[in-house]
Structures are given as C-alpha cells and as structure tokens.
Amino acid sequence: MAKDTIAVVGAGLVGAGWAIVFARAGHPVRIFDAEPSVRAKVLDGIRANANDLKHFDLIDDVEALMARITVHDDLGAAVKGVAYVQESVFESIPVKTPVYAALDTLVPDNVPIGSSSSGIPASQFTEHCKTRARMLISHPVNPPYLVPLVELVPAPWTSPDVVDQVHALMTAVDQKPIRVNHEVEGFILNRLQGALLMEAWALAREGAASVADIDKTVSEGLGLRWAFMGPFETIDLNAPKGVADYAARLGKLFHGIAASRNNPEPWEAPLVSEVEKERRVDLAADKIDERRAWRDRRLMALAVHKAKAVKQFG
Ligand SMILES: NC(=O)c1ccc[n+]([C@@H]2O[C@H](COP(=O)([O-])OP(=O)(O)OC[C@H]3O[C@@H](n4cnc5c(N)ncnc54)[C@H](O)[C@@H]3O)[C@@H](O)[C@H]2O)c1
C-alpha cells in the first residue's frame, strides 16, 4: 500500500536528516526551505548520506530512496495533501512564529505538525494558531537517521490524540519516540546532557583531570553502557538487590556531589579558551569536519552492531 506523503519544512542539517528517515521508511517526502541555495544543494547532501548508509548496509537502494524525495520552492505546494509536517527551521521564536502562522492555514486541520526545536517549547510559537491543538515538539537527535530518539513534547493545548498519532508515526518509521509529559526547559535529553556538561566544565575548571581524560571517562567508561541502557537501569544492575539497594548504598554520595554544585557557574571565556586550547591540540580546527564524518561512520557501525545484537541477545 502506498505510504502517506510527509513534508519537511526547513532543510538544513536536521531537516535533510528527517527526509532520509521518512524516505527510508517508504514515505514520499516533500522538502521546502526558504533559502534557494539550500534547495539547490539539499539532494546532493542527502545522496551522499544515503551512499554512506548503503555502504554500511543500513539501506538497500539509494536510488529508490532518492526517488521518493522532491524539493519544492513553495510552502503551500510542499504541504498540500500531506499526512504529517516536520518543521526544522532556525531555532528562533521570530523565525518559527510566522512559519507556524502559515502552516496554520496551509495544512489541513487534522494533520499533525511537529517541530524539531531543541529547546524552545511549542507554546512559545504556536499560541496564536487557531489549529494549535495539532502542533507539538518532535525533537530529534542529530543525525536523526542514525540516532533514533525523538522527544514528543506537547504544549498545554496539544491534543493527546495528536501526541499518540505522532508517536505511532515515529515508531513506524523506526525512530524511538518518548513522551515528555509537559513542557520543561531543554526537554529530557538536553537536561540530562546539561547535567553531565555542567559537571565536565566544573571538573575542567578545577583542574581535576585533563579535558581528554574527562572525555575518556565517558567514551571508555560510562558511555559503553549508555549505548543500550539508561541511568536508572544502569544503577538497577549495579547493586545486588537493584535500584533501592543502590540508592541506600550510594544515594548520600550523589546527594553530596550535587549539593557541592549548588551554585552553577557560567562557562566563562578564560575557561572556554583553556578547554579550546586542549581540544585543538587533540584535533586541529581544520580537521573538525573530517572528525564529524568519522563520528557519523562510527555511529553507522554502532547502528549495525545494535541491530545485530538485538537479534542475538534481545
Ligand atoms: N543541529 C542539531 O544538532 C539539532 C538537533 C536537534 C534539533 N535541532 C533543531 O532543528 C532545527 C533546525 O536546526 P538545523 O541544525 O538543521 O539548522 P540549519 O541552520 O542547518 O537549518 C535551518 C534551515 O531552515 C531554513 N529556514 C529558515 N527560515 C525558514 C523559513 N521561514 N521557512 C523555511 N525554511 C527556513 C534555513 O534556510 C536552513 O536551511 C532547529 O530548531 C534546531 O534547534 C538541531
């Protein structure tokens, strides 16, 4: 059966990634971006990513995927008759607000509209829309076709049915949606990431370890488990009788650590330049793009491994 058409509005880094997610799952995808130069080159970027995915056997057919994606120079034409809209324009209230005012009238009432917003809650740019009940945050991780988590965050006026619909769609296209019950700054992912980052900067500020060794603590330590389980399951398995046992044994230690950081400091310029200096010794500025491509290849290898491991171990 033919799959529903999906519109991707805003086709930078994240929008182009979303196009791959939906097209990979067999959906026709219509892309709109306000910037002609982005429209002109977006398919080349998608093709390069699709070739990488093919190289890792993560997709079967690059040409079939590309054939499902079209680029449009008119927003109305891009969203006509679609079953879902994924918005990924700049992270800015003044940019998102008029886009939502336009989608409010251009997109049929019953079609959900999800925003990739990383931190701005939907209530800040959908309030004045008459169809705001079908608008919500659908926040991906970059690149969405390799990191499947999607945070679904309703505004106070988002219909619970719409959250259910988008949850079902994301599951069907092989993403891993979670429900955030109400708007909270940074949603879940960036609050967890923020807690770790705040501590990493604080440890660097205190000279507790080098930047490289702080990173290594995650890449060769904590992060290995985090590729397949979260913090609660981690501690549930790290005390003989589970999470309550862990809380009894180590709750005081972690409370003490948190209490010692009750006055979080900004990432001030001298500290940032110290960390920058250390990073540039390990990675020259002109090698950052290369290393990003390396990261994506490692993520592809991890996606292959995870799929295999799920089959083998559950
Ligand atoms: N980059 C990330 O790691 C990441 C991860 C998750 C979510 N996000 C979120 O996704 C959204 C997009 O981020 P990005 O990194 O892709 O940014 P980007 O700058 O790469 O892309 C944004 C695109 O939106 C287009 N655009 C701007 N105004 C527009 C309009 N009125 N109509 C149509 N297109 C318009 C721009 O031309 C640009 O191509 C932001 O809300 C961002 O916070 C980013």
C-beta separation of 59 from 53 below 8 A: yes
C-beta separation of 136 from 155 below 8 A: yes
| Whole-number Å distance between alpha carbons of 113 and 100 | 9
Q: Answer whether residue 304 is part of any domain.
A: no
DSSP 25-47: TT--EEEE-S-HHHHHHHHHHHH
Is the same domain home to 81 and 220?
no
Per-residue confidence in pLDDT tens, the chain, 314 aa = 889 999 999 999 999 999 999 999 999 999 999 999 999 999 999 999 999 999 999 999 999 999 999 999 999 999 999 999 999 999 999 999 999 999 999 999 999 999 999 999 999 999 999 999 999 999 999 999 999 999 999 999 999 999 999 999 999 999 999 999 999 999 999 999 999 999 999 999 999 999 999 999 999 999 999 999 999 999 999 999 999 999 999 999 999 999 999 899 999 999 999 999 999 999 999 999 999 999 999 999 999 999 999 999 99
Is the same domain home to 272 and 202?
yes
DSSP state of 185: T
Q: Answer whether residue 294 is part of any domain.
A: no
What is the whole-number distance in angstroms between the Cα of residue 138 and the centre of ligand 1? 13
Residue with tokens 């006055």: 263
What is the whole-number distance in angstroms between the Cα of residue 41 and the centre of ligand 1? 15
Final residue of a structural domain among 179, 198, 213:
179
Is the same domain home to 273 and 230?
yes
Identify the H or E element spanning 136.
strand 135-140
Count: domains in the chain? 2
Q: Answer whether residue 300 is part of any domain.
A: no
By the 10 Å C-beta count (0-12 exposed, 13-18 middle, 19+ buried), 122 is classed as buried
What is the whole-number distance in angstroms between the Cα of residue 116 and the centre of ligand 1? 8
CATH label of the domain that carries residue 165? 3.40.50.720
Residue with tokens 């990383």: 118
pLDDT at 270: 97
Is the same domain home to 164 and 197?
no
Q: Answer whether residue 119 is part of any domain.
A: yes
Is the same domain home to 83 and 36?
yes
Identify the H or E element spanning 165.
helix 160-172
Cβ–ligand 1 contact at 90 (below 6 Å): yes
What is the whole-number distance in angstroms between the Cα of residue 16 and the centre of ligand 1? 9
pLDDT at 115: 98
Is the same domain home to 197 and 160?
no
Nearest-CA residue for ligand 1 atom 20 is 12
Cβ–ligand 1 contact at 69 (below 6 Å): no
Final residue of a structural domain among 151, 179, 207:
179
Cβ–ligand 1 contact at 93 (below 6 Å): no
Is the same domain home to 123 and 43?
yes
What is the whole-number distance in angstroms between the Cα of residue 96 and the centre of ligand 1? 10
| Whole-number Å distance between alpha carbons of 203 and 207 | 6
User: Which is nearest to 86 in space by CA: 29, 132, 38?
Assistant: 29
**Ligand 1 atom nearest residue 35's Cα:** 37
Buried b (16+ CB within 10 A) or exposed e, 80-109: eebbbbbbbbeeeeeebbebbeebbebbee
Nearest-CA residue for ligand 1 atom 37 is 35
Q: How many helices (H) and strands (E) does the chain have?
A: 14, 8
Is the same domain home to 93 and 153?
yes
Q: In terms of residue numbers, what domain contains 229?
A: 189-282
Cβ–ligand 1 contact at 118 (below 6 Å): yes
Cβ–ligand 1 contact at 86 (below 6 Å): no
Final residue of a structural domain among 144, 179, 214:
179
Q: Answer whether residue 27 is part of any domain.
A: yes
Q: Determine how β-strand 29-32 pairs with β-strand 113-115.
A: unpaired
Nearest-CA residue for ligand 1 atom 11 is 88
Residue 129 backbone zone (phi > 0: left; psi -120 to 50: alpha; other: beta): beta
Is the same domain home to 195 and 170?
no
Is the same domain home to 146 and 197?
no
Q: Answer whether residue 19 is part of any domain.
A: yes
pLDDT at 1: 80
Rounded to 5°, angle at Cα 126 from 154 and 117: 60
User: Which is nearest to 7 in space by CA: 31, 26, 38, 27?
Assistant: 31
Please name the residue ranges forming H helices in 261-287.
269-282
Is the same domain home to 171 and 232?
no
CATH label of the domain that carries residue 212? 1.10.1040.10
Cβ–ligand 1 contact at 89 (below 6 Å): yes
Cβ–ligand 1 contact at 78 (below 6 Å): no
Rounded to 5°, angle at Cα 164 from 163 and 166: 65
pLDDT at 228: 96
Nearest-CA residue for ligand 1 atom 28 is 89
Please name the residue ranges forming H helices in 173-220.
189-206, 211-217
Cβ–ligand 1 contact at 40 (below 6 Å): no
What is the whole-number distance in angstroms between the Cα of residue 85 and the centre of ligand 1? 14
Ligand 1 pocket test: which of 8, 18, 42, 90 has the largest number of ligand atoms within 8 Å of its C-beta?
A: 90
Residue 147 backbone zone (phi > 0: left; psi -120 to 50: alpha; other: beta): beta
Q: Answer whether residue 291 is part of any domain.
A: no
Ligand 1 pocket test: which of 75, 118, 190 has the largest number of ligand atoms within 8 Å of its C-beta?
A: 118
Is the same domain home to 194 and 147?
no
Q: Answer whether residue 314 is part of any domain.
A: no
What is the number of other CB atoms lying within 10 angstroms of the CB of residue 118? 17
DSSP state of 71: E
